[in-house]
Structure formats: C-alpha cells, structure tokens
Amino acid sequence: MPVAPNPAPDRAKDGPGLGRGTMGKSGLAALTLGALGVVFGDIGTSPLYALQAVFNIDNRRVPVTRADVYGVISLVVWSITMIVSVKYVTFIMRADNEGEGGIMALTALLQGAKLVSRRMKYVLVTLGIIGASLFYGDGAITPAISVLSAVQGLQVAAPTLGSLVLPITVAVLIILFAIQRFGTNLVGHLFGPVMAVWFGVLALIGVVEIAQHPGILRALSPTYAAEFLIDHPGVAFVALGAVVLAVTGAEALYADMGHFGRSPIRRAWFVLVFPALTLDYLAQGSLILRDPKAVSNPFFILLPGWAQIPMVILATLATVIASQAVISGAFSVTHQAMRLGFLPRMTIRQTSEHEVGQVYAPAVNLILLVTVVAIVVGFGSSTALASAYGVAVTGTFVLNTILFLAVARLLWHKPRRLIALGAVVFLSIEVTFFAANLSKIVHGGWLPLAIALIVFTLLTTWRKGHEIVTRNRIREEGSLRDFIDYVNSRDCRAQRVRGTAVFLNANPKTTPLALRANVEHNHVLHEHVIIVCIKVERIPHIAKSDRIAPDHIGRPHDGIIGLVARFGFQDRPDIPETLRLADEQEVLEGDADVGGASYFLSQMTIVATTRPGMKMWRKKLFLLMAHNAANPARYFGLPDDGTVTMGERIEL
C-alpha cells in the first residue's frame, strides 16, 4: 500500500543531533544496538507470555490439535508481519514530526494543519488525546506483566520457590523505578548488548527445535490462520484477544523513533528482532504439539533443565529493559502533552546532555510505581494479567491508524483510494483485535480503560480550563501598546529606576500582569524593560539560530524591548540562557545588562466561579492541578535570588 509522505527530515533517518551525511557505519551500528536496548524490549519479551495466554484462556480454551496449533502460530506470525513490519515499520514510521514519533507527534501535526473544518480538527485531536490516554493504561500494565512473567520462570525451574515470585517481582519493580532518575542514556549503551544476547538466544532456541521438528514451518503459511478462523470462529475470536499480546510494544517502537532514527530501528527489526521472534514462536508451537501439557509455560519448558535458571535471569533483565522503554515513553508523552497545552507545568529533568528527548518526570514515576505494584499484588500472575492486557493496546493501534491516514490525506494529499485501501487493510485487522479484547473488560480489561479515562479527564480538563483562564487573563492584562502610551504620558507617576527588568508573557500584544502591577502599585519602572514572549511550537526542536526574534513594541527611547523566544515542545525553555543568546546575537537594543537582570513573574490566583464553561467539579480539578504545577521560576531556569513574583486574581 504506497501511502508515503514527502521525504522526511534527515534527523529521522540519521538520528538525533546529526546533520546530513554525518552518519557513518559505526554511528549507525551504535544507534542500531542502542535501539535494541530501548525500542524492542516490550515486543521482544512477548514470547514469555503470549502463547501461554492463548492456550490458557479461561472461558474458551483453544484445542491443542495440529491444525489449531498451526492456526495459532500462523495468526501470531502474520499479526506481527502486518501490524509491526508492514504498518508501523514500513508506513507509519514515515509520519514523523521533525524526527519525533508517537501518537502525540501525530496529534501535533494535525493540530497545526489547515484542515477542512474546525470540527474535523477537534475530532482528530480528541482521538489523539484518547490514544495518549490509552498509552498510559498500557504503560501501567506492561511492567507488571513483563517482570512477573519472567520471574514466574522460577516455578518451572524450582517449584519450591514459587512463593517468592511476588516478593521478587515487587523488589525488581521498586529497583527499576528507583533508577529512573539516572535516565535512559545508560539503557542504549548497557542494555543494547543484553537485548542482542536475548534475541540471539531466542533465535538459537528456535533453530534447535525447528531443526529437530521442521514440520512446524508449515505454520508460516497464512492459509492455516484463515482455516483456524473459518473452522472455529468462536474460539478463534476469543484467541485473538491473547494473540495481540505478541504485538504489544509496536506503539513504543514508533514513539521512540526520535531517540534513534528510522533507519537504525528498521535495520534492527528486520535483521534480528523479527527473525528471532518468528523462530521462537515456531519452536514453542512445535513443543506444544509434542507435549500438550507444555501450554502451562511453553517458553521455559522449551529449555533444557540446566538452562532454565540462567534464562530466568536473562528474561528478568530483558523484561526490566522492556519496562524501561514503556516508562520512558510515559515520560516523553507527559512532556509532549505539557508542551502542547494538555497538562500544567511539571518538574521535568533532562537526563542526557546529548539527547533532549530523554527526560525524567518524578511525579509520573512515583504514580506509575504505586500503580504497577498494586496491579502485581492484585492480579498475582501473568496469566491473570493477560486478561487485563490488550484493550488499551488495540485501541491505540486503531487510533494510530486513523490519525496516520488523516495525516496522509490532509497533509500529504494522498489519493482517496489509497486512504480507503489503507483503512480496509489495517482497520479491518485492528478493529477485529479490539473487538476480541472487549470480552476482557469484565476479567480485568477495565483497569487500563479506567486509567485511560482518568488521564483523558485530566488532559481535557486542563486544556479547557487553561483556555478559559487565558481568555480572562488577556482581558485583565489589557493592550501592551496602550500601556506603553500610558507610561510615556504625563499621567503616569512611575519613577524610572536603574537596572534591567525581565517580564515573561504568553501574549505579545498584552501587558504582563507583573509589569502592570509594578507600575500601578509600586510606581516603579526600570530603565531597561525586556518583555519575553514565549512561544512553544508544534515541532520538537527549534535551532538556536532561529530561537530569538525582536518584537518592536516601543519607541527606541522607551527602554522597553520585546523579544519572542521560540521553543520546540521538546526543548527546555531556559530564559537566562535565551537572553544571553540574544545578547550574543545583538538582538537586544541599548545597553541592557542581562547578566544582572531581575525577573518578574505574574502569579495568578485562580478563583472558581459559577460562570458557564465548565462543570464545578472540573473547575475544582483544574484548581487542584494548577496548585500542584511546577514552580515557574524553576521551569524557566530563573535564579531564586533574582526573581520577584507579583499576583493578580483571575476568575475561572
């Protein structure tokens, strides 16, 4: 299906921070190895529990006959082929926002597009928010089921240690979340080789088993999947709810594209990951045919006794890495949502000096830790967790496809017939998977949906409340041009004092509340006034050469200077550094001393009223979120001893 955009930026091909032609073979190999350690952890550990879940469905078990085993293996292999290899790796990864991927990047593209109608934009952006919310639901389940399924290998290798599975799982998860503050930079360098060994072992296990029982290779034919669906439609439909576990992690593969680039991810997938997964699933199918009792845990039973304990250790490391990828994805989605105006300012820490996309959100980390541990203790086993897994994943698949097709049509102007073909091919598969997983809702599938609903409520409440507060704030601020005329008139009693004052403002046409308060209440106006208007663009990064632009808001002798500082939603808005950059580029007028400047922040006291626009409970939720927002001085990198906060009352 040839739905392809115009050529993507070099960053998407060569990796972050690399210009055209600078990527050598060694650099590409390093990025490919790093991608193994971050991108493929989730989907790479699916063999631990996918087939086990398929053959242990509580309500309608899949018969362990030759035809049915062939049918299941064929379904798994062709699901991976169509959803991951064809849809994500071949097509959707072409839809990047300046090299960044993920459903929030697609949302940003559509949010800034000139669409046919505002209603269409609203619908598509809402779908993107729903998809991001579902990603959080997936992010809570993945670490729980991944680590738990690996540690459960102890029950196969040493049944007497079965009582230690839950305590060990919780301990591993606590350690995993505790090291998040050190960032994901270590993952690509240290865990890449671990995942290379993991996939190598999967391939070796598969080759050994298939060499002894090559008949299982018949399952590569899609005809067995078709026959399974036709002969046992009821059982097959239920089985699809577990088969989808084999493709979980495809969204993380796309979301992490900005870290490594498109080419390294594609190479790693087609050269190592895809073949290794296929071989291992075939081998597990062969084992189940030889020993139907192996459905209890085919992954570990496939191994000889001496290799089971070492494999438990390796699998635990691999699942920790898989969990790391999803957790990092949650940090990235939070960061992007905040930049796009769907969340208040939160404490976000850059964990790499080279990769601006590698961030750490302490609040999100703590919430995820508590949620994941509660899930592990509450469900108790990976088989039980499999019943909760899949609804959020398949929902995200469907929404990604819809948004991708919207981008292909509205931004790339692809023919309608190609869009229709893409919808038929991909949505028919993914909607079927989604429908099959709906039966899981009563067995635990409600959990990721509940998490997604909470996140969706938070995102939409903040967006709507922020719009109302911004509108009321603009009315209170008044026209900046009129204010400048006032301070230059005889009616103004403000005294000019020496020094440089910097005021932050979101709207270049209105007066910063702190500036108005300083003149009207303190009767003071500094000799040099710099008003910085901060613009967060819908692209990830803005080059330093394009970051600063003058805004001529006053006359030269006014001493009032306007600057527009542009940041990408992945950039850190450090205002003192931005002013130094403006000084170096000679954008500032006069002799303003940016090094010794005082910074003034407008502190809004938001008051909930009975005015229409939002329900009262949502207004209270907005106030709670605003109260817990990050300190703006810290967020913008302002010095503690040089920042003054002045407040105003704003109604909601």
Amino acid residing at 295: V
Give CA separation, 470 vs 160, 318, 506, 568, in Å: 62, 46, 9, 21
How many Cα atoms are found within 13 Å in the side-chain-facing hemisphere of 172?
28
Strands 560-568 and 548-551: antiparallel
pTM of the model as a whole: 0.75
- Whole-number pLDDT of residue 19: 35
Calculate mean pLDDT across residues 19-40: 63
Q: Which pLDDT score, from 0 to 100, does residue 352 have? A: 55
The whole-number pLDDT of residue 384 equals 73
Q: Which domains does the chain have, with CATH numbers?
A: 63-439 (1.20.1740.10), 475-651 (no CATH)
Residue 212 has pLDDT above 50, yes or no: yes
322 sits in which H/E element: helix 305-339
Indicate the DSSP class of residue 649: E
Cβ–Cβ contacts within 10 Å for residue 476, how many?
A: 16
* 560 close to 531: Cβ distance less than 8 angstroms: yes
Percent of the chain predicted with pLDDT > 70: 86
Exposure string of 73-111, with b = 16+ CB inside 10 Å and e = fewer, is bbbbbbbbbbbbbbbbbebbbbbbbbbbbbbbbbbbbbb
Q: Per-residue pLDDT for 31 more than 50?
A: yes
Structure-block tokens of residue 586: 């000679």
Of 435 and 357, more confident: 435
Using CA atoms, how far apart are residues 254 and 271, in angstroms rounded to an integer? 18
Average pLDDT for 143-165: 75
Distance, in Å, from the CA atom of 554 to the CA atom of 557, rounded to the nearest integer, reads: 8
pLDDT in the model for residue 192: 79
Give the mean pLDDT of the chain. Answer: 80
**Residue among 351, 343, 349, 344 at smallest CA distance from 362:** 349
Cβ–Cβ < 8 Å for 346, 363: yes
Contact 295, 61 (CB under 8 A): no
Q: Say whether pLDDT at 6 is over 50.
A: no
CA neighbor of 550 nearest in space, from 532, 538, 567, 535: 532
Give the pLDDT score at 421: 93
Average pLDDT estimate for 232-244: 85
Of 581 and 422, more confident = 422
Please tell me the predicted confidence (pLDDT) of residue 9.
38
Q: CA–CA separation, 237 vs 377, rounded Å?
A: 30
Query: What whole-number distance in Å separates Cα of residue 641 and Cα of residue 12?
Result: 41
pLDDT number for residue 12: 40
Residue scoring higher pLDDT (2 or 326): 326
So what's the pLDDT on residue 1?
Answer: 44
pLDDT at 21: 39
